[in-house]
Chains A and B, each alone.
Chain A
Amino acid sequence: MSPPLPDTDEIDAIIAPHRNAEGPLLPMLHAVQDAFGHIPETAHRVIAEALNISRAELHGVISFYHDFRSQPAGRHVLKICRAEACQAMGGAALADATLKRLGLDWHGTTRNGAVTVEPVYCLGLCACAPAAMLDDRVLGRVDDARMTSLLAEAGA
């Protein structure tokens, strides 16, 4: 069950502290995503109006950043690195196995809503590849066993 959609006043209150900032759009989008786990459609008009930009411009910015979501993710987000160093150290196989185990495609969420799996291109941990990231935690040298315990921790 998804929570009720936020209303205009709620979003207004969230973006208000950023109104007078220099370059206020990204802080506003982050604030909204932090509050709701995604950027709901209702926020678009409010933000565009507040900054006097067009909805096309807003769409251009939101769609530029992969981390801004239009739908809420699972309770945890697992990112698996797909960049060169990790691929060379078995990252691709790790990713395939993880997705297969969960029965998901990239960007999919487990049926119990626990984990969303996403690709990421370099976490800056090339020296301890393959790397992954669970929510805010970056993890190096992830093997099958480590992945199993991570997924268990996340409740997948």
Chain B
Amino acid sequence: MKDFIIPVRERDMGTPARSGAPVTLTIDGVPVTVPEGTSVMRAAAEAGIQVPKLCATDSVEAFGSCRLCVVEIEGRRGTPASCTTPVAEGMEVRTGSDRVRKIRRGVMELYISDHPLDCLTCAANGDCELQDMAGMVGLRDVRYAAPEGAGLANHFEARNTSGAANPEWLPKDDSNPYFTYDPSKCIVCSRCVRACEEVQGTFALTIEGRGFDSRVSAGGAGDDFLTSDCVSCGACVQACPTATLQEKSVIELGTPDRSVVTTCAYCGVGCSFKAEMNGDELVRMVPYKHGKANRGHSCVKGRFAYGYAHHQDRILKPMIRERIDQPWREVEWDEALSFAAARLRGIQARHGRKSVGVITSSRCTNEETYLVQKLARAVFGNNNTDTCARVCHSPTGYGLGQTFGTSAGTQDFDSVEQTDVVIVIGANPTDGHPVFASRLKKRLRAGAKLIVIDPRRIDLVKSPHVQAAHHLPLRPGTNVAVVSAMAHVIVTEGLMDEAFIRTRCDWDEFQHYAEFISDPRHSPEATEMLTGVPAASLREAARLFATGGNGAIYYGLGVTEHSQGSTTVMGIANLAMLTGNIGRPGVGVNPLRGQNNVQGACDMGSFPHELPGYRHVKGAEVRAVYEQLWGVEIDPEPGLRIPNMLDAAVDGTFKGLYCQGEDILQSDPDTKHVAAGLAAMDCVIVHDLFLNETANYAHVFLPGSTFLEKDGTFTNAERRINRVRRVIPPRNGYADWEITQMLAKAMGADWGYTHPAQIMEEIALTTPSFAGVDYALLEEKGSVQWPVNDAAPEGTPLMHVDGFVRGKGRFIVTEYVATDERSGPRFPLLLTTGRILSQYNVGAQTRRTDNVIWHAEDVLEIHPHDAELRGVADGDWVRLVSRSGETSLRAKITDRVSPGVVYTTFHHPDTQANVITTDYSDWATNCPEYKVTAVQVSLSNGPSEWQEDYAAQAAQARRILPAAE
């Protein structure tokens, strides 16, 4: 049976692990030592003894309701439940006496008397704990049966023996697109309810009624799973011991028989999953208990939204065309690659070496990204490589690099379990980084305090059992002023950690900074008019952060995507250094990375001025490493950033682009400018799963492979290098790294990688922070956090423990400079943009899954006051206009946004929120200012003229000629 193939590590231990002083007891004569507070059940499991159980599982606290796990304890009366009984020194436990065996059979007999016996046709057949336990306790007979021709009391027969409808029977709830709730199979163990509360923290489920009428219920009376608060994270489905909550994919495809551990390709949390297979078919994705980022939890995207790999829109054959007004022509790989190579070489011959470039992908693996930048540097012979991190976290790299000396977050996600005060600034974790949000909420429910700095009232501000101590609803664009005001309070009220600053930071620089920040113009009172944040609550928030114990700061794109993004990052680093919150568990500065491998893409030298490991191309000794290995000369001059490439294209000096796994037309700001740049190029090569928006301007389309179809590594927001493992063969024929290699070879390179492990060897050989990384280590440890080197052979969970990477921490003055993008009479509102739980980035993947049921279109959130002024009602079409462009979408009236602020998402190309955004950008890194655009909103009849033109152009550009026979 299945149990024999469950590896020891993956066994359910029954109750959660504890940490405490060691306690020794004997169980069935076997001595075992476990931490204090451990349950007898878990201690038995540690000793290799499985006590039968139904309501216990190690993802949630013990509940003691099923009474199957009873044991006998020497010197104690009765038969206590082993799940709720903590161990004690010298305890002698018997788990299998006749007495407990008899009790267990009796309990099981009652359970089975109210459960259908359709095991052979049940979706959980072979994967059902009720079935396993019935076997384990040796149940042979059920004496309780309904009398002939009379009523019966059970929950699983639609009609009783007399043929009348059974009022206790409830039909299946199919409303969720990914799983079903079949009440007839429910044993009311409450595991789902507890998982929803303890693991996910949504509290969407409850037990309704009492006694025999007790039922699992989603939401209130009359709700089903879809209308309830359920966020479809799958924790309940995973916790369910029967087929009551069951993935629809398992119902359709059967139970899996093997699994491959891999890493989710959505957000920067980087959850580990088991891809469970039946033959060569992927049946389901289950969060991996030993994944160090997610600790066995998941969200709706990673758990369920992988169907895009088999979506009909996916392109599987290479395609080319002479001009972008022609239809696509499907060709063989050879033809596509030689066409692309000839064009690129031709462009270089005509317009110079620097007239072509690449964009690496934050969704591809480290190895693939490394090869793409190597293509630019070694084959194109220039540094024209950039990545989508340019438009998200480039200020993080710059800001943290300047202050601390590394371009990455300081902690691991486990650190949140030890934090006391959390600042969340410019991030919406419950939507953008849901698994981290669940871990954070768990800590908040345990008493940690929360300060939210965000123009919107995000869910964390107030949701069941979580309430922010302070919400500072700032005006978009005033981050620096708010962060500086907090520092002002801390410095002027003498709340800083002077000992830390003296020992760990540059004291002279601090003096300079303290003088700067103490100036009354930075006080909360002075900046209140500007930021809209009440001075009193800002003061209280600052005091709480400085004095509340371990303080951690988590931030997202609401910090970086501003004209002063880098300045805010430095301001955040200053706050952490001022309060001594660096270098131990529970503290730190933690960027929440947007995409799965945005950290890795940055690490791998995707930027035009940096070789892998953030080393400037000007450094001759760094260039020498690569020049020697690659046998080429590396350009000492930094290349072009994405916006520069597009500007140069419009000017006619940049003519060819290889863009892997990114849709710059939809995701980059000022869509019209991007389109003009792309249209001006002679060779645009798009390497992607789908004909994305950028592909409308492409000459070559190289079909990409999904994360399920290749080997490699992703690096998540905590610098964790996680393995991606091939689950199914690439449907397009090749993994992405193979395709880049084929293109390089077509252009004359002599690359000969046969497995991504060899690429990682090259990375380790040339990049000091990756020196100790190889696939064997990842196989052994599961994952490691860089730097991995001789000093830290198993990786570095916490950075800057004894000293900053750059030596002394550096305080940098953070002068607030208002953005040039201002609201005025013509554009009186400020637009800010973000993400929603069910969709991801430009939506290329999630829009091609059933996730659209939750978010079928982008909507504009607008405050009731602003809506009333404009005569806008909920659901109306509105025109959204900025200096850059206009689009139309539906309005949603809500007081989550402040008056004067509107908000939308950018998941849908038919809305194209980025037509609106401007080309203002961060002063240091060119990261676009997505988060602030002055706009006007007015009523409209439907899509704008631009949207209609765009749709027509896209349809035209996506034509594919039937393949020649």
Contacts and interface: CB of A to CB of B under 8 A. Distances in A.
B206 A57 contact: yes
B203 A63 contact: no
A55 interface: yes
Contact of B220 (A52, A58, A64, A66): A58
Contacts, number: 57
B465 A53 contact: yes
Contacts of B205: 56
A44 interface: yes
Contact of B209 (A52, A54, A63): A63
A52 B467 contact: yes
B88 interface: no
Nearest to B196: A56
Contact of A56 (B220, B465, B467): B220
Nearest to B208: A63
B221 A63 contact: yes
A3 interface: no
A127 B218 CA distance: 43
Interface string A34-72: 000000000010001000111111111001101000100
A59 B220 contact: yes
B464 interface: yes
Contacts of B209: 63-64
Contacts of B221: 59, 63, 70
Contacts of A53: 203, 464-465
B219 A56 contact: yes
Given A59-B217, A59-B220, A59-B221, A54 B208 contact: no
Contact of A59 (B208, B464, B467): B208
B229 A56 contact: yes
A56 B217 CA distance: 7
B464 A60 contact: no
A5 B221 CA distance: 18
A52 B465 contact: yes
B202 interface: yes
Central interface residue in B203, B223, B462, by most chain A CB within 10 Å = B203
Interface in B444-464: 462-464
B207 interface: yes
Contacts of A63: 208-210, 217, 221
A55 B229 contact: yes
Chain A's interface size range is: 10 to 19
Contacts of B465: 52-53
B210 A64 contact: yes
B462 A60 contact: no
Nearest to A58: B220
Contacts of B228: 55-56
Nearest to B467: A52
A60 B204 contact: no
A149 B769 CA distance: 91
Interface string B221-255: 10100001100000000000000000000000000
Contacts of B464: 48, 52-54, 57
A45 B925 CA distance: 46
A52 B445 CA distance: 12
B219 A55 contact: yes
A64 B214 CA distance: 8
Nearest to A60: B206
Which of A44, A52, A55: most chain B CB closer than 10 A?
A55
Contact of B206 (A44, A59, A70): A59
B217 A54 contact: no
Interface string B837-856: 00000000000000000000
A42 to B, nearest CB: 13
A66 to B, nearest CB: 8
B459 to A, nearest CB: 12
A64 to B, nearest CB: 5
A145 B223 CA distance: 46
Contacts of A59: 206, 208, 217, 219-221
A60 B219 CA distance: 9
Contacts of B463: 52
Nearest to B464: A54
B469 to A, nearest CB: 13
A52 B462 contact: yes
A17 B231 CA distance: 34
A60 B229 contact: no
Contacts of A44: 220
A60 to B, nearest CB: 3
Nearest to A66: B210
B290 to A, nearest CB: 30
Contacts of A52: 462-467
A57 B203 contact: yes
Contacts of A48: 464
Interface string B463-499: 1111100000000000000000000000000000000
Contacts of A70: 221
Contacts of A60: 206-208, 217
A54 B204 contact: yes
A127 to B, nearest CB: 26
Interface string B768-779: 000000000000
A20 to B, nearest CB: 15
A16 B565 CA distance: 44
Q: Most A CB atoms within 10 A — which of B209, B221, B229, B464?
A: B464
A44 B202 CA distance: 17
Given A44-B220, A60-B207, A63-B208, A54 B202 contact: yes
Given A59-B220, A70-B221, A54 B203 contact: yes
A67 to B, nearest CB: 12
B535 to A, nearest CB: 27
Nearest to A44: B220
A84 to B, nearest CB: 16
A88 to B, nearest CB: 22
A70 B463 CA distance: 25
A64 B215 CA distance: 11
A56 B210 contact: no
Contacts of B219: 55-56, 59
Given A44-B220, A63-B221, A56 B206 contact: yes
A63 B463 CA distance: 22
Nearest to A45: B220
Contacts of B462: 52
A116 B791 CA distance: 79
B196 to A, nearest CB: 8
A70 B464 CA distance: 23
Nearest to B203: A54
Nearest to A63: B208
A54 B462 CA distance: 11
A54 to B, nearest CB: 4
Interface string A17-45: 00000000000000000000000000010
A55 B210 contact: no
A64 B209 CA distance: 4
Which of B204, B221, B466 lies at the interface centre, i.e. has the most chain A CB atoms within 10 A of its CB? B221
Interface string A104-119: 0000000000000000
Contacts of B467: 52
B427 to A, nearest CB: 22
A74 B875 CA distance: 41
Interface string B181-211: 0000000000000000000001111111110
A51 to B, nearest CB: 9
20 contacts: A44-B220, A52-B462, A52-B464, A52-B465, A52-B466, A53-B464, A54-B203, A54-B204, A54-B206, A54-B229, A55-B223, A56-B204, A56-B205, A56-B206, A56-B220, A56-B223, A59-B219, A60-B217, A63-B209, A64-B209
Interface of B: 202-210, 217-221, 223, 228-229, 462-467
Given A63-B209, A63-B210, A64-B209, 15 more contacts: A52-B463, A53-B203, A53-B464, A54-B204, A54-B206, A54-B229, A55-B223, A56-B206, A56-B218, A56-B223, A57-B203, A57-B464, A59-B220, A60-B217, A63-B208
Across the A-B interface, the 5 shortest Cβ-Cβ residue pairs: A60-B206, A54-B203, A54-B464, A56-B206, A63-B208
